[in-house]
Amino acid sequence: MRIAFLVAPEGVEQVELTEPWKAVSDAGHEPVLVSTKPGKIQAFDHLDKAETFPVDEVAGETSAGSFGGLVLPGGVANPDFLRMDEKAVAFVRDFFDGGRPVAAICHAPWTLVEADVVRGRTLTSWPSLRTDIRNAGGTWVDEQVKVCDGGPNTLVTSRKPDDLKAFCEAFVDVFAQSATAG
């Protein structure tokens, strides 16, 4: 199963990209790096530049329907850039409209807020997003991982890099269940 990893051209927290990427690969799925521009993305280790990664596909030129799930890594700047890009926001919304599972960690739920898909859902995130999630009609909880079965698809959220092990285990399990159900 192909799994989309949507990131901005810069600002993604590297470990929130690489650890879930490894989990998807280890589970036998195909991770695909999707961004708003072709070329390479610049990852960060908090505020310091880290590695670059090649973009596989571009939002607006690919379809949510060609993927079995979506992973939204965090980083402070990454979701802020994504939520300002209409094609990226539409790409995220299409996963929800199509009933495909989505996983988001740390600051990534900002993109979910912009896509207007948190209403009626319970999720977790980096604590500074609490008010944004509540204002968007969601319920925020301070938990390592939150799996929300609201609507036709499942949303898996997590707070921070320290939660990556639990986050990866949860979303890989949800994605596998979705694949066998679909």
How far apart are alpha carbons 48 and 14 in whole angstroms? 10
How far apart are alpha carbons 40 and 56 in whole angstroms? 9
Task: Find tokens 């908090």 and name the residue.
Answer: 46
106 is catalytic: yes
CB 69 within 8 A of CB 103: yes
Among residues 89, 106, 112, 145, the one annotated as catalytic is 106
Tokens of 135: 């204002």
Phi, psi for residue 76 in degrees, rounded to 5: -65, -45
Tokens of 22: 């490894």
Of 150, 154, 117, nearest in space to 136 by CA: 117
- Residues designated catalytic: 106
